[in-house]
Structure formats: C-alpha cells, structure tokens
Amino acid sequence: MTEQQTCIIIGASHAGAQLANSVRKEGWQGRILVIGDEAIAPYHRPPLSKALLMGDKTADQLEIFKPTVYDKANIEFLLNTRVASINRADKTITLEGGNTLTYDKLALCTGARVRKLDIPGSDLKGVHYLRTLADAEAIQRDVSANRKAVIVGGGYIGLETAASLRKLGMEVTVLEMMSRVLERVTAPELSDYYTKLHESHGVKIILNAQAQAILGNDKAQQVQCNNDLVLDADLVIIGIGVIPNTELAAAAGLVVENGILVDEFACTNDPDIVAAGDCTFHPNDLLGFHLRLESVPNAMEQAKTAAASICGKPKAYHALPWFWSDQYDIKLQIAGFNKGYERVVLRGNPDSNQFVAWYLQDNKVLAADCINSSKEFMQAKKLIAQNITVTDAQLADTSIEVASLVTNT
C-alpha cells in the first residue's frame, strides 16, 4: 500500500466511523474518504429513542468520535452525498450528482433503513419513523404533555420510544400485530414482563392489532385499526423493523443474501471490497450459522475486521452477539442468540425487576436476557462462548454464583 492509494467507505455509520479509524491504525497510508448521506458526521443511534428524544442529550453529544480523532487520522468526509453506483471493473463509484471517484479499496457500511408502512394517510404530518437524528428531532417537535401518541410496532424501538414519551407526559398506545410484544426476539416470559412494565407506567398495549389507515385532513388525527378500532392520535410513530441497504452491492454484482454476503474476514466476493455492520450477512462459528445483526457492537467489531482485511492482515470475526435496551429504569442486556432454543429457565423473580431468562438447547446456554443483572450478563457471555454444560437447577438457583459455573468447568 502507498500514500497514493485511496480507501473509500460508503456509509457514515457506526461501522463506517470505526472502519475509517481502524484502517488507519492497521497501517493504511493513503487517502481515507467516508461518504455519508446525512449532513453530519457519524453519531450514536441508540440514544435517539431515549436520551436525545427526552432532551437529556443534545445532538453534539452523540458523536461517535471527536472531530480531532478524524483530523489526527487524516480522515476526510463527504457528507450529504449519495452514491449512485459502483463500477467494479474500473474501481470507481459514481455519485448522484454525476461525479466519479476512484478507489483502491472499497468498504460498504451502508446500514439499514426503516421499513415503511404503506397504508392510507401514512404520509400525513405527524407520522414519523425513528432511525436518524432528523427523525428524532422531528418527533421532538410534535411531543407535548397530555397529547396522544400511537406507536405502531411492539418491538424494542417501539417500546423504548413508548417509555420516553410516557416520561414526557404523553398518553401512549402501542399497537402490536402479533399476539405479544417482542414476539420475534424473546420468550413469552419476557413479553409478559415488558407488557406489565409498560402498563404499570400507563402505556396501553393492544395486541393482534394492525393499523389500516391514518386519518386526518392535513395532519394525523386518528389511527384506524382492524376490528373497527379507531384511536385518537396527535403523534404517530411507526416502528416495524428495518431493511438492509444492499441495492448498491447487488447492482454491482456482489452476492446478496439477507444482506451483503461476507466471509469471516468481512470480505465480499470482490477482493477489493469489504462490508461491515447492519447491511452484512456473515458467518459466526460460535453460533454455527450465518446471520445479519442490527447491533452496534457487531457494527464496531466487524468494522475492525474489515479494516484489517483491507490492510492485508486478516483477522476472523466470530464475536458473540450482544445487545441492550433501556426502558424506564430497567436495563436489559442480551447475550447470545436464542435461535433454536428448546426451553427457558428463569433465575430470580420478574416481579423484583431483577432476573435472567436463560435460553437452552439440551444442556447448553444459547442466550440470556438479563434484566438489571449485569453480573450475570458478563458470565452468560462466557457460558455461551465456552459452550459449557449446565443444568436447569444450577441456572435457576440464585444461591449459586453464575461465575462458579464457568470456573468449575
């Protein structure tokens, strides 16, 4: 590699910010250019539904790295800019304005976008999604105490937003089309816990409910649901998942399968193109299957792997997935991935707001949902990563330190 070479990173995301800094640390001597479609440098997204929405943090407190970090690493940004296409044969990218840039190495950190709800009235004022800083700021402008908010979607983003709006004094109703909240990602025990938690804070949760239309002249005023249910709404927030941004990759002939397909080194089927973050579909030997993760830890760690590959220092990425969610004064920390679990074992009493739900297959822990249980969370990661055999009784017994199950093997 030489000082004349150029590494272009498409996506000013968590992964993009980390990759830019890591590729310099790995020894890249040439130009590093990050292209982002928002007007600001990379920022933390998790606080958007919590600290920022509630006014506890401002936009300038969300930056992933300080400007001095980028300056020291001589990292350039081209913001408020979209890439129209990638020409792998010429090793160029074309911007939407028509300009062309040449790369030696290319990194795709394009992330994901919100899944839109295509129903009548979904384009009315007062209808919002929550993915970007601009989204959060738009919601803030519509928030007012004692007004009514309807949230479509009972996943993590919907429930986190519900908690924030309740703290801000709004009347909140959550519509979930499935038979329980968080049904796609947690066991019934966790769904029941979060339903009770939100209801205890005054949130109304309506299950098996689908929004069919948003009513209003110029601005949202009501949400019409199935079963002839009509809800008054001054504010509507839609949180029904995200879609990975893979169109650029697919059009360029890269392999796409539920995300941009990469190997354990974050490499695509083009030797000069890597990818990292929410947009990738990658293998994990700890889990034994491919997956796509919408996770900040995954984005940051996979970006480090991608940077190493760019610099010819391949380091396999097989980190154990972990996630978190803050709602009211409850911190949920999730270790592992519960796909294929056979049963759930509880440690502690959910009524105490401090417990663990262990997901097991045979006598091995696949995942753990830890409510206000940081110590157990740290040990759960070891139990899973080390594939330790345990019994249901050991996991449920609060008199047995989870750490002993790790050290005694």
Handedness of CA 308, 311, 312, 313 (dihedral sign): negative
pLDDT reported for residue 385: 93
pLDDT above 90 for 409: no
Report the amino acid identity of residue 238. I
Q: What is the pLDDT of residue 286?
A: 86
- SS3 label, residue 349: coil
Dist CA 281 CA 260 (whole Å): 6
| pLDDT tens digits along 136-175 | 999 999 999 999 999 999 999 999 999 999 999 999 999 9
What does the chain come to in residues? 409
Q: Give the torsion sign (CA, 19, 21, 25, 28).
A: positive
Q: Report residue 227's pLDDT band, with 50, 70 and 90 as the boundaries.
A: confident
**Which residues partner with 174 through β-bridges?**
151, 205
Residue range 52-62: mean pLDDT, rounded: 92
pLDDT at 213: 97
| pLDDT bracket for residue 1 (50, 70, 90) | low
> CA-to-CA distance for 78 and 84, rounded, in angstroms?
14
**Dihedral of alpha carbons 192, 195, 199, 200, sign:** positive
One-letter amino acid for residue 86 of the chain:
I
- The pLDDT value given to residue 376: 97
Q: What is the pLDDT of residues 279-313, one digit of tens each?
A: 999 999 888 899 999 999 999 999 999 999 999 99
Split at pLDDT 50, 70, 90, the class of 408 is: low
Which residues, other chains included, contact 185 with Cβ-Cβ below 8 Å and sequence gap of 6+?
A: 155, 156, 338
How far apart, in Å, do the first and last CA atoms of the chain sit?
46
**Under 8 Å CB-to-CB from 405, ≥6 apart: which residues?**
379, 383, 388, 390, 394, 395
Q: Assess contact for 96 and 82: CB atoms under 8 A.
A: yes
- Going by C-alpha positions, the residue among 196, 202, 194, 293 that lies closest to residue 242 is 293
* Average pLDDT, integer, range 257-263: 97
Give percent above pLDDT 90 in the chain: 96
User: Phi/psi of residue 14, each to 5°?
Assistant: -55, -50
**Residue 350 scores a pLDDT above 70:** yes
Domains, the chain, ranges and CATH?
A: 6-113+243-310 (3.50.50.60), 127-238 (3.50.50.60), 329-407 (3.30.390.30)
* Cα separation, 8 vs 297, whole angstroms: 22
Task: State the pTM of this model.
Answer: 0.95
Can you give the pLDDT at residue 2? 66
